[in-house]
Structure 1
């Protein structure tokens, strides 16, 4: 087997880092956008649930006494 030259090894490592950075950027972009979407949806839902419980809470407690 013939050994690869030093320049070829360096270019392969640079290519590996370049491909890895592209893949990492895509994965982190997807994860970040999913987290942003979940937070954008969950905060208004949590506020709405809290408001409904706050408004209807005391009347339900008085009714069960």
Structure 2
């Protein structure tokens, strides 16, 4: 995950260690090892770009259901 100044996976790890906020990774990194690494870093879901907007909405609804938001 490419972010300016900090690795996106590190952001994910820090968020996960500090809270139970839902985390959905949206990225162009599409290999199985990339997905596994993202999920192991604390993401609840991982969606590869390009993606269908309807799929993104469905995944967000599922995250909100699981986290009772």
With structure 2 as the length reference, what TM-score do the two structures score?
Answer: 0.28
Structure with max Cα Rg: 1
Q: When you count helix as a share of all residues, which structure comes out higher?
A: 1
Structure number with greater CO (CA < 8 Å, separation at least 6) is: 2
